[in-house]
Each structure stands twice: as structure tokens, then as C-alpha cells.
Amino acid sequence: MTVAQQVPVAPGLFTWPSDEPQLIGSRCPHCEVMTFPAQHGCPRCTRDDMEEALFARRGTLWTFTTQAFVPKSPPYIRVETAETFVPYAVGYVEFEGQARVEGRIDVADPSTLRIGMEMETVVVPLVDDIVTYAFRPVGEGSE
């Protein structure tokens, strides 16, 4: 599948197509708070003129978990059975001076995950031609 055929799970979440995808958020020009996804109103200082801003590509793993049972679909986009389901990991990555963002973690073996490890933003297939952002431990190769 070529990049051109791939569709983001939602518009405005990450830069795409891109060889070095970044999350798209918003920054408050008054109190510097960053949100993800982007929004107009500032949840901290309550003013309503937040501006679009990009997250750094790399951050550190703040916490994580695994999803070992089959999620209901909907809301999960993939319709799985106990036979087809492959457990996945999710976590929050802390982007220094920005915010902590939740996302899928792209890792072959979740038991290798450790709080504090360095992560980078990647874009991975979700289902069919739909792609999503995810976080991958730095140094872990593409699958």
C-alpha cells in the first residue's frame, strides 16, 4: 500500500503524509498550555484563542498498560475475536515542556516497556487503509 492511499483515522491529529509525523495540538498564547487534540478554549486560563502547535517528535513514556482482552466494537474500529485478536499497548508519552499525550504504543513485546524510556511518534496501520499515530520506543525497528 502506498502512503497516498492511506487515510488518517481523523483529520487534524497528526501531520500526514510525512516521513517524520508530529502530533498537532494547540497552544495558549497566554499561559503556554498545550492540548491534544487542538481546541479553541484554554482549559487552564479559560481564554478562547488557542493556536495550532506541533508536538516534539520524541518524548518519554510516562505510564502505560496493555489491552489483553478483545475490546467491544464499536467503539473499537477492528472487529476481532479471541482467535484473531492481538493484544496491544497504550500509554502516555510526556513531551518535555508541552504535555502528556495518550496513544497506541507500537512495540513487538509490551513486556519490554519501562516508564521513562524514550519514545517517538510514528504513524501505523490501524485497519484496512486507515492509519493512526502511535508511539514507538526509540531504537525499536519498524515491524
Partner 1 sequence: MDVAIVGIGIHPFGRHDGVADVEMGVYAARQALRDAGLDWSDMEFAYGGSLGMTTGGGGASADTMVGHLGLTGLPFVNVSNGCATAGSALAMACSTIESGQFDLGLVVGFDKHARGAFDPDPAVLGLGKWYGDVGMMLTTQFFAMKINRYMHDHGISESTLAKVAAKNFRNGALNPNAWRRKPLSEEEILESPVLNYPLRQYMFCSPDEGGAALVVCRADQASRYTDRPVYVRGVALRTRRFGSFEVMAPWMPIERSAAPTVDASRACYEMAGIGPEDVQVAQIQDSESGAEVMHMAENGFCADGEQERMIQDGETEIGGRLPINTDGGLIANGEPIGASGLRQIHEICLQLRGDAGERQVPGDPRVGYTQVYGAPGVGACTVLTR
What are the residues binding partner 1 (CB under 8 A)?
9-10, 13, 25, 33-37, 43-44, 62-69, 71-72, 74-78, 88, 90-92, 94, 97-104, 110, 115, 126, 130, 132
**Identity of the residue, 4 or 69, whose beta carbon is nearer to partner 1 in the bound complex:** 69
DSSP codes, 106-137: --S-GGG--TT-EEEEEEEEEETTEEEEEEEE
- Report how far residue 43's alpha carbon sits from residue 58's, in angstroms, rounded to the nearest whole number: 24
User: Measured from the CB of residue 115, what is the shortest distance to partner 1 in angstroms?
Assistant: 5
Residues pairing with 51 in the sheet = 27
User: Measured from the CB of residue 40, what is the shortest distance to partner 1 in angstroms?
Assistant: 14
User: Measured from the CB of residue 3, what is the shortest distance to partner 1 in angstroms?
Assistant: 19
